[in-house]
């Protein structure tokens, strides 16, 4: 896939007060999101990342339960994408990962993410 200039990734998105859109598939009115600070979103993601990296849980299981992105219904899978299709920080982080690697916290206008490169 890399030869075609595309990567494949899954992610867990936690939206917060500073997110561009303050609603999600699991919080349609945005009540939880409006009361979530960026710091608490980052803390939650760091704890989830630790559980994934330590092997306690599978990335897709946590994505299904905790991600504010509708990709949660697919275990966080975003499918393949190329450069220019995602927000710049997300794209740079994803292209910088090796397949199977999990990113540190990535900030975008959508919220905070951890990314698993899958292809």
Annotated catalytic residues are: 11, 69, 87, 110, 113
Residue that the structure tokens 């990314």 belong to: 115
How many Å apart are CA 108 and CA 73, to the nearest integer?
21
Tokens of residue 101, six digits: 């690697």
Helix (H, G, I), strand (E, B) or coil at 13: strand
């Amino acid at each position: 896939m890399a030869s075609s200039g595309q990567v494949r990734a899954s992610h867990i998105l936690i939206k917060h007060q500073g997110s561009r859109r303050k609603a999600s598939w699991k919080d349609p009115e945005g009540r939880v999101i409006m009361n979530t600070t960026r710091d608490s979103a980052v803390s939650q993601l760091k704890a989830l990342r630790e559980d994934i990296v330590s092997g306690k849980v599978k990335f897709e299981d946590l994505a299904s339960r905790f991600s504010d992105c509708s990709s949660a219904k697919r275990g966080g899978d975003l499918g393949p994408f190329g450069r220019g299709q995602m927000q710049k920080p997300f794209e740079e982080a994803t292209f910088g990962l090796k397949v199977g690697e999990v990113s540190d916290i990535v900030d975008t206008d959508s919220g905070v993410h951890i990314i698993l490169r899958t292809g």
